[in-house]
Structure 1
Amino acid sequence: MENKHCHLNRIKPVPGAANISLKNLKLVTVAGIAAVAFTFTACKGGSSASSSDSTSAATTTAAATDSASGGGKIADIKPKGAAPQWGPDIKPQMAAVIEKLGSFGDKPIPQLTAVEARKNHTAADAAMGVMQDNKIPMPDLKVDTMDKQIPVNGGNILLKVYTPQGATGNLPVIVYYHGGGFVIANVNVYDSAPRVLAHGVNAVVVSVAYRLAPENKFPTAHNDAYAAYEWVTKNAASIKGDPNMIAVAGESAGGNLAVATAIAARDKKIKTPSAIISVYPIAQIDMNNKSYTQYQSAKPLDKPMMMWFTKNYVNTMADAKDPRINLVAANLKGLPPVTIINAELDPLQDDGKLLEQQLKAAGVTVDRKVYDGVTHEFFGMGAVVPQAKDANDYAVSQLKSAFDK
C-alpha cells in the first residue's frame, strides 16, 4: 500500500527523468549504505558494457559527503535560479541537477532521431556536474563486473554481471532492466543502480542490454527481458547466484519490463521472481491523466518525450494497448510482492498509482512510496539528492526482506 509516512518526506521527482520517462534513466542509483554511483562512461549513450573492473564507476555515499576531508556537503547544494513553474516545491538539490541539465543546451528529444537522442546529455551527466561543482567526494563501491553474451531470438544480447568483491557462496540474484523509454540508454548509462544494489543487498546483479527501438520494435525489448530472466533461472550457479533467490528490478521502461517479465514467467510456468522492484514504471497509456497534465512540461521527462518514446517503440498505436506495455490491463494475479517507487514531479506518478490499485485488486502484496520534491530519474542521484538515498535504502531493504523469507 502507498506509504503515507513517506509522503511526509517525499522527494519530489522531477518529471521527465533523464530525457525520458523511462528513457534515459541514466541516473545513477543510490543504494544501501547510502551509496550512490555515478558512471563517467555512462554520460553518453554507448552500446556495449564495460568489461570486468572492480571500481570503474565513480561512486559516492551520502554519508561521505559530510565526513570526507575537504569534500562538499549535500545540504549546501542549491540552484542558482528560481524553481521551475512545474515544480515550485522542488527540493534544492533536485533543482540544482535540473538546472545543470538545462545548461547543456541540448535539443529536446522529440526533435531528434533516436540515434541523435542517444547522444544527448542525461540526468546522470547533470548529477555528475553538480557533484563536481560542489566538490562532492566519490568513494568506490567494491563490485566486480563481467560481460556475457547470451543467445536470444534473432541474435545475441549482452548481460553485465555485477558481483560484490569478497562474496562467498551462492548469492541472491537481481535481474535489472535499465530505463530509456525502450529507445535510448544502455547498461553503461545505468551502471550505477546495479552497482549500488549489488553492494547494498550483497547480491549478484545482472543488467540486461535489451535491444532498442526503433531499430527493434515492440515486443523485442520485452522478449529480450524475458529471455535474460529465463537464462538466469537456468544458469544462476555459473555466475555465483542462487537459482532459488531471484528478483527483478528496473527503472521507467525497465520498471515496466520488470513487471512484464514476472507476468511472463508466471504464464510460462517457470520460476517466478521472489520480488519485483518497479521504479517510476511505464504502466498505462492515458497521457491525459492528472500527473501527465500537471507535469506535462517537467524535466527531465515531459509528456512530449513520452509520446516520442511510444511512437518509436510501437509498430502501431494498437501495440500501446498490449498488456505488456499497458500493465494495468494485464492479468496481475499470482505475482510476487511488488515495490513501486514514484517521484512526485513526474508525468508517470499516476502510472505507479494505477498499477498499485490494480495489483491490490488482483490480491498482490504491494508497497508504494512517492517521494516529494523530486523528478523522474531521481532514484540514481543519491550522491546529491537526499530523497534518492532514502529510496535506494528502501529498495535495498525490500529486496533483503524478500530474500530472507
Structure 2
Amino acid sequence: MKQGGKNLEVIQAMNRTLLLRLLQQNHICSRANLSEQSGLKQATITNIINDFISWELVEETGLIEGCKGRRAIGIRLNTEVFYVIGVRLSRKYFEVGIFTLMGELVEEEYREYITDTKPSTVIPKIQESIRRLIARYAGKKVLAVGVAVPGPYYFEEGVIEAVFTDWEQVSIKSMLQEGMPLPVVIDHDANAGVLAECSFGLDPNLYETVVYLAVGQGIGAGIYHEGKIFRGAAGIAGEIGHASINMDGPRCECGNRGCLTCYASTIAFMDRVNKRRKDLGFSPLLQFQDLIEPAQKKDEVVYSEFRTNMRYLSVGIINLIYSYNPDLIIIGDEMSRIGERVPEEIKYNISQLMERKVLKQAEIRLAAFEKDSAFIGAAELAIDYAFVHTELFRGEKIF
C-alpha cells in the first residue's frame, strides 16, 4: 500500500478538529489544559483559539482552575451562534430538531406517518421540517444536518436496506441531500446512539469498547471501539437484530428465520401481551407507552411477557459479549423507558448462562439521556462533520 505524508494544511485541520472535540468533551477548558490534553504547543493552541474567536466559534469565560492549580481564562464553545439539525427516522415517525454544538436540543418537530410510509412521501416531509427550522433560525448559522436511520444502512453508498415496507434499497442520502442548502450526514440509528453516549453521556477514555443496543421496533447495536465507530467490511456491523436465535422460528421480514427482532423487539413484546389480553377478553394496547407502567408495577400479564422479552434479549447480549468483548453495554431506545428493571433482568439472566469471569468485565446500564440517544446522536453526526470541515464556520459551502 502506498504511504503518503500530510501537508501543513491537513495537519492544521486535524489540530482544529482535535481542539473542538476536546472543548466539547470538557465544556470549559483553559489554553494550558488544551495544550496538556492535545500534546500541542501553547503557541499552536493560541493561534487556533484566536481563529476560533474571530469566527465566533468559541468564547472566553472568567477565570477557571488551570494546570497545577493556577487560575486561567476559560474557553468554551459558543452555543448561541452556530447550530446543527438532527433528524431521527423511525418506522412510524420522524422527529427533526435544532441543536447547539453541545448537543442541547433547542426546538423540535415530531410527525407520525401511519398510512403512507413510502420514501417518496416521507422524505419530502422531513425536508419540509428541516427547511422550517432553518427559516426560523435565519439569524443564526445552521451548519449541517445529521440523520439517524433504521438499518441495515450502507454508510459508504448512502443506501438504506431497511426490512420494513417500501424502504428496501432506498438511496436516502442523495434523496435527502437533493435541494437541501446544508450538507447531510446519515448513519445507522444505533451508531448515532453510541456516538451520543460517548460524546455527551460518559467519558469514552474510560472504556475500550462500548456497545449501544437500540431495542425498539427493531434491534441494532452501535459499536464504539478505541475512539471510533466500528463498521465492518460492508458498513453494517452490529446488525444483531437479524442474527437468528432459533433457526426453526418465525420468518423475519429480512427473509431469515428466528431473528432476535422477532422475539425481543418492542413490537414482539406488544404482540405477545395483546395475544394474552385477547385470550382474557381484554381490548388490545395500542402503543408501547401503554406497557411501561404495567411492566414497572409488575402487572401479571405485562410483567410476565416483559420477563420473556428480557430472556430473549439476554441471549442476543450474550452473543454480543462473546463477539465483541465490550466493557460497557448501554441499553437504549423504547425498551429503556421501562427503567432499571431492564438491566436488572438482563444481568440476572446472563449470570445464569455465562462464565462469571466474562460477565464481570461487561458493565450493563441504561442510556444516559431521557431523550432518545439516536436523536441526540443525529445532531452529533452533524456537529462532528462541522468539526472536521471547519470551513463551515467561516461560511464556506463545501458540498
Give the TM-score normalised by the residue count of structure 2: 0.30
Compare relative contact order (CA 8 Å, sep 6+) and give the higher one, 1 or 2.
Answer: 1
Give the TM-score normalised by the residue count of structure 1: 0.30
Higher-Rg structure is: 2
